[in-house]
Structure formats: C-alpha cells, structure tokens
Amino acid sequence: MSVLFYYFLQVTRTRLMPDCALREETHYLSMVVLLAVLLLLSYGAGHIHCSTVRHGNRTEVHSLLEFKAATNDPTGALRSWNRRVHYCNWTGVTCSSMKPGRVIALRLPGQSLSGEITPSIGNLTYLKALNLSSNGFSGQLPPLNLLHEVIHLELSSNSFHGIIPDSLMNCSNLKLLNLSSNGFSGLLPPLNLLHELVLLDLSSNSFQGTIPDSLMNCSNLEGVDLSRNMLEGPIPEEIGSLYNLIALNISRNNLSGIIPPTISNATQLQLLNLQENQLGGSVPGELGKLSNMFSLGFGDNWLSGPVPPSIFNLTGLGVLDGHLNMLRMALPLNICETLPNLRILILGGTMLDGHIPASLGNCTMLQVMDLSNNSLIGEIPSFGKLLSLARLYLESNNLQGVIP
C-alpha cells in the first residue's frame, strides 16, 4: 500500500512542479485517473524558458552563501556556489525569467548534504519550490513564514526533529507539503490556512494526538498520508467532506473507533489504507459506493463480521487486503466475475470458512493471494491459468485432497 501512495506522490509532485524551471503562471490540470496496477495517474506538465539573469540580488546571494556555510557537503554538490559563477547558475538554483535575479526554486534532493538549515533560507521571499529531500539535514525546522510564494515544500527523508513551527502554516500558497520520514513529534499542526494544499505527506514521523479537524478545511486535498505515526482517537466523520480526495493512507497508527461510513462521500477515492490500527466494528457497506476504488486495505485491526457483498462489486478493485481481522465469512463463488481486475487478495487470518471458489482460477491478473490461517475446507482448485501469480499462501487451513 505504501508503494501505491509513493507512486501517487511522484506523479502529483511532477504535475504540480515541472522538472524544468518552475512555471510561474501555473495552470493546474485536472487529474485523469488511470486504474492501472500501481494507481498511475496521468498528469499535465508544462515548461518555461529561463532567460539569462542580468541583475543580481545581494540579499539572495548572501542567503544562499549562509546556507552553504552551514551545510556539510562531502560530495562537492555545492562546488559551483562561488563568486566566479552567477548564482542563478549554481547547482540546484533556478531564477525567475520574469523577475531577473529572484530565486524561485532551490532543489538539492539526494546530495548527501547535512547540517542544520539556516533561517536565512526564509529570506528567499520569491521562492516557489524548496526540495532538500533525501539528505542528512537535522535539527529543528527554522521559521519559514516569509516564504509566502512557496508552492512546493519537500524536506522528506532527513533527520529533522521537534515540532513543526506554526509559522509554516502561514505559507498559504502551499500545494505540496512533504515532511515524511523525519523525527517530527508533537501534535499535527493546524492546517486551516492551507486552503490550496493538494498533497500532504507527514508519514513516518512521531506525531501524536488526533487527526485535526482543521484538515477538513483543506478542500483541495487529493492525497493525504499520515501513516507510521502515533496518532490516536477516531477517524473524523467529516473526512468524507474532502470530495477531491483520491488517496488516503492513515495506516500504522493507534486509531480506534469505527470506520466511519461517511468516508464513502469522498467518491473520488482510489486508495484507502486503514491497516494496522485498532479499529473495531464492522466494515461499512457504504464503502461499496466508492466506484473508483483500486486499492482497499483494512487489515490488522479488530474488525468483525463479514466483508459486505458491496465490496465485491467494485469492479475496478485491484488490491483487497483485510488480513488479521475477525471477518468470518465465505468468499463469493463468482469473485472473479465481479472483480475482474483483482491483482492482490490478502485475507489471511480472517476466519474464512467454506471452500476456495473454483472461479479464483479465472482471476488471470492475480499476482498475490494469501488465504492462509483460516478454516477453509475441501480441495485446492486448479490455478493453472494464473500465469502472473507470484505468491500463493494456503497454509494452516483444513484443505484436503491432491495438489492439482
């Protein structure tokens, strides 16, 4: 499931921030959904031509040089950052073609840089994109509240710690905020001022407390990943009011309560991952209304009762993972007729009973099937047509007869 969200993140990042110079008068194209194996989304991207910068800006030069002075650079990624080279030609720096000399992007992902980020970065007031991901930066995040123009902020896969400063929430033009895979802690920050936010990734940190109500004010959100934290409390019923939501990953927390049926109001959802929490009650039948759903995961919770028949009518469903629950039920006999796109079926340890439907042998797109640790009986049907099948788990059942 995390791999699917990663692909969503990559495509959304590209859609919001073209790889050439940052588009300054940006059109954001509508996302066109492709129900493919890994939730690939098509996107529109544009490019601009960067003209030669004729004018310097002393504040911006000093801010960049302060950043370099405080940064450990073992591979020489910043060797071009010197007075012999115009700063608009420094590695990772992009200047505006409309406002010469103004730095609008600083992108240095995966350059083995380390140290603490200096507050001087906040003086790059025309900055629209800051990407320092996959480095070794540490310490607390400095105030960046002067970056009113920033659209893309990505500091993932570093070693930052402490709380996210509330001042960051003044960056009201943010569309992509990725602070995943760090050591941030405390409560999730209030998000009510980030009305333009499209993608939020705060996964793999140490955030505590509940999912804030302010999240529901970000009505443009298409992707939310809060997985691998220490969040607790219920899933807010109001989360269904995020009508543009396509991917929601809140797995690997300590969330409790029920799966709110109101999630079904977010009718654009294609990825929903609720795994490894403490959710109880039943799987709501309303999830069967999510006709765009491709990947549905609610495994490793305390859910009980059967999987609602409506789930097996989601014809675009490619991934169904409900392992380690108390879902006493039998699989539908016509499962492959109703789920023709099924690639991954994981229902191990869910108290399944009855026979393995022979129709599973017709799920020709299946790659992974785990029905282990259940109470299945009878013979194993023929799976000879499943040429894409890479993993099959049937152990710890009451199966008998020959292996076909």
Q: What is the pLDDT of residue 58?
A: 83
What was the pLDDT predicted at 209?
A: 97
pLDDT (0 to 100) of residue 242: 96
| pLDDT in the model for residue 146 | 84
For residue 166, the model assigns a pLDDT of 85
Report the pLDDT value the prediction gives residue 68, as an integer from 0 to 100.
Answer: 96
- Token readout for 27 is 């059109």
pLDDT at 212: 94
143 DSSP β-pair partners:
none
* CA-based torsion, 234, 178, 223, 368: positive or negative: negative
Please tell me the distance from the alpha carbon of residue 323 to that of residue 340, in angstroms, as a whole number: 21
Q: What are phi and psi of 141, to 5 degrees?
A: -75, 125
What tokens were used for 92? 């990772």
CB 132 within 8 A of CB 154: yes
Q: Which residues of the chain have pLDDT under 50?
A: 1, 18-55
> Contact at 8 Å (CB) between 114 and 137?
yes
Q: Express each pLDDT in 255-306 by its tens digit.
A: 999 999 999 999 999 999 999 999 999 999 999 999 999 999 999 999 999 9
Question: Are 216 and 195 a contacting pair, CB within 8 Å?
Answer: no
Type of residue at 375? S
Strand partners of residue 177:
153, 200
Please indicate, yes or no, whether the overall pTM of this predicted structure exceeds 0.85: yes
Determine the length of the chain. Answer: 404
* 395-404 contacts at long range (C-beta below 8 A, 24 or more positions apart): 396/372, 397/371, 397/372, 397/373, 399/356, 404/379, 404/380
How much is the pLDDT for 227? 98
Query: How many of the other CB atoms lie within 10 Å of CB of 27?
Result: 7
Number of CB atoms found within 10 A of residue 172's CB: 12
Q: Is the dihedral of CA 239, 167, 226, 223 positive or negative?
A: positive
**In degrees, to the nearest 5, what angle opens at C-alpha 132 toward C-alphas 127 and 136?**
150
**154, 176 Cβ separation under 8 angstroms:** yes
Asked if residues 230 and 253 have their Cβ atoms less than 8 Å apart, the reply is yes
Q: How many CA atoms lie within 13 A of 25 on its CB side?
A: 4
d(CA 392, CA 366): 10
